[in-house]
């Protein structure tokens, strides 16, 4: 893996990195779900739930920040888990996060045509088939397929192009959000915020459970670490800043919706955030502008997870954990083009399976993300004890408290996915996805050991994390 530093281009600046993570966390969910959050917990209850959820995610984010600044290598979870726990843990952590990345990328391919339906209600034509109770239409699927191909092309031809796309659409989200917040302050009614709380702690807890998935995305920064042109300490600061920005965003959206609509109006609305915008500015044009902002969110999330997923696949292939062709860079564009194409194929097929099946995939991916969070937090704790003198340009204060807190909180969310929990994964559909992904991972793990040798992955990872033997000798000298 020693060639990565020579080949991956360091072209991402501070704004690129910040918008990459923030845009990943702000997808389409804030447009669709804000009303359900308020109905579940009340306006103030929902805001407090996201404040608390943001604090929980910050614990995990701080562990990522320290480790990314200390080990700014492509692969993120792969690198952290290897240095703390070895090759097997490295494979498990990366394979888990890959399920999360691919699930989000695939889901955005069905989110786009669904959103377009709000702008053009009659565009759906050409019934194809029904999967899991969802009717798939030709024009609907075609919209997702075209979007998928375009995102794939942007990622294929260079990280700088993908970053430019991310910046443009993140600014679009921010402008729409600023319009929504301004409208609520100027034209909103504080009385609409009532009831401030619904369902007490149970209502807040229901919203709190959703927050980790809403904040997913900051961890694409470690995946692209070798393409970031910033001081190592700054990388950690930007990562944690993106989490704070996302927390503010969600709380501000809930506040704005609460100021615009009563609880009764929200119950009757099919798309609360867009209707809130319409009410605040007394015109349907405002609601359509908000939908455009939602489309920007889909694209930024889609693009960011494309970057994260392709770099994770590339890093695993470079370490001889996956087939070698996935670890090649394009000679001109310096992108992991085969990894990009693999994700592109999966994403392009996604709309043909309908929305319901992709919801199952995202839920299963959520478990993978929580497992990866737990393993990174464990790596943070282990490395604090195992390598106390490791250079940490961004060193977290109260490391034991933050580290153990991140482990416990991540593990709790894993338990909430287990059978018997009110938020458990759906049997058999979502568990079947987890099982198939696990079997595929186990098969690839042992295939790689057989094809490349038992010790090859360890050799490659050691060289990647610590440098080649000649580099280590130079550093020692």
Supply the pLDDT for residue 359: 85
pLDDT tens readout for residues 278-300: 999 999 999 999 999 999 999 99
Q: What is the mean pLDDT of the chain?
A: 91
Phi-psi region of 72 (alpha: psi -120 to 50; beta: other; left: phi over 0): beta
Higher pLDDT, 209 or 384: 384
Supply the pLDDT for residue 96: 97
Please say if the pLDDT value at position 5 is more than 70. Answer: no
Supply the pLDDT for residue 1: 53
pLDDT tens readout for residues 296-319: 999 999 999 999 999 999 999 999
Report the alpha-carbon distance of residue 79 to residue 56 in Å, rounded. 23
Block residue for tokens 């790596």:
379
Q: Running DSSP on this structure, what letter comes out for residue 425?
A: P
Please say if the pLDDT value at position 22 is more than 80. Answer: yes
CATH of the domain at 355: 1.20.1740.10
pTM, 2 dp: 0.92
pLDDT tens readout for residues 185-196: 999 999 999 999
- By the 8 A CB rule, do 156 and 341 touch? yes
Which domain covers residue 150, as residue numbers?
4-476
Report the alpha-carbon distance of residue 323 to residue 316 in Å, rounded. 9
pLDDT tens readout for residues 176-228: 999 999 999 999 999 999 999 998 888 898 888 878 878 989 999 999 999 99
Q: Which of 59-68, 133-142, 151-160, 353-362 has the lowest mean pLDDT?
A: 353-362
CB atoms within 10 A of CB 386: 12
Number of domains, the chain: 1
- By the 8 A CB rule, do 454 and 116 touch? no
Retrieve residue 281's tokens: 């500015």
Retrieve residue 406's tokens: 């991140």
Block residue for tokens 């506040």:
255
Report the alpha-carbon distance of residue 185 to residue 460 in Å, rounded. 56
107 φ/ψ angles, rounded to the nearest 5 degrees: -65, -35
Please say if the pLDDT value at position 476 is more than 70. Answer: no
Retrieve residue 79's tokens: 């690198």
Helix axes 159-187, 14-25, angle to 10 degrees: 60
Supply the pLDDT for residue 469: 39
């Amino acid at each position: 893996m020693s060639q990565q530093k020579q080949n991956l281009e360091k072209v991402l600046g501070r704004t690129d990195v910040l918008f990459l993570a923030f845009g990943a966390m702000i997808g389409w969910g804030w447009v669709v779900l804000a009303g359900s959050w308020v109905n579940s917990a009340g306006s103030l209850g929902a805001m407090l739930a996201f404040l608390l959820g943001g604090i929980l995610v910050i614990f995990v984010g701080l562990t990522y920040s320290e480790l990314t600044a200390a080990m700014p290598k492509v692969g993120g979870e792969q690198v952290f888990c290897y240095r703390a726990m070895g090759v097997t843990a490295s494979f498990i952590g990366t394979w888990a996060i890959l399920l999360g990345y691919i699930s989000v990328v695939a889901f955005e391919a069905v989110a786009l045509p669904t959103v377009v339906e709000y702008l053009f209600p009659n565009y759906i034509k050409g019934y194809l088939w029904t999967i899991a109770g969802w009717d798939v239409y030709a024009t609907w699927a075609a919209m997702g397929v075209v979007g998928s191909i375009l995102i794939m092309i942007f990622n294929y031809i260079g990280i700088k192009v993908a970053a430019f796309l991310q910046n443009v659409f993140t600014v679009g989200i921010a402008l729409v959000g600023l319009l929504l917040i301004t409208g609520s302050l100027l034209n909103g009614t504080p009385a609409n915020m009532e009831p401030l709380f619904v369902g007490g702690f149970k209502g807040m807890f229901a919203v709190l459970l959703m927050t980790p998935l809403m904040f997913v995305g900051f961890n694409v920064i470690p995946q692209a670490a070798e393409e970031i042109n910033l001081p190592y300490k700054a990388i950690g600061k930007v990562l944690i800043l993106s989490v704070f920005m996302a927390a503010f965003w969600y709380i501000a959206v809930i506040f704005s919706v609460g100021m615009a609509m009563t609880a009764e109006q929200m119950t009757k609305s099919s798309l609360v955030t867009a209707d809130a915008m319409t009410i605040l500015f007394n015109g349907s044009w405002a609601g359509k502008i908000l939908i455009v902002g939602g489309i920007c969110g889909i694209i930024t999330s889609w693009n960011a997870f494309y970057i994260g997923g392709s770099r994770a696949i590339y890093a695993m292939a470079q370490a001889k954990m996956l087939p070698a062709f996935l670890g090649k860079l394009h000679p001109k564009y310096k992108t992991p083009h085969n990894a990009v194409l693999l994700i592109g194929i999966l994403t392009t097929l996604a709309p043909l399976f309908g929305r319901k099946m992709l919801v199952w995939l995202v839920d299963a991916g959520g478990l993978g993300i929580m497992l990866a969070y737990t393993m990174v937090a464990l790596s943070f704790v282990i490395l604090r004890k195992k390598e106390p003198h490791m250079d940490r340009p961004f060193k977290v204060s109260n490391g034991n408290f933050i580290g153990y807190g991140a482990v416990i909180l991540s593990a709790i969310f894993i338990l909430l996915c287990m059978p018997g929990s009110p938020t458990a994964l759906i049997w058999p559909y979502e568990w079947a996805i987890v099982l198939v992904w696990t079997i595929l991972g186990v098969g690839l793990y042992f295939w790689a050991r057989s094809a490349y040798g038992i010790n090859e992955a360890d050799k490659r990872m050691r060289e990647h994390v610590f440098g080649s033997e000649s580099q280590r000798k130079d550093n020692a000298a």
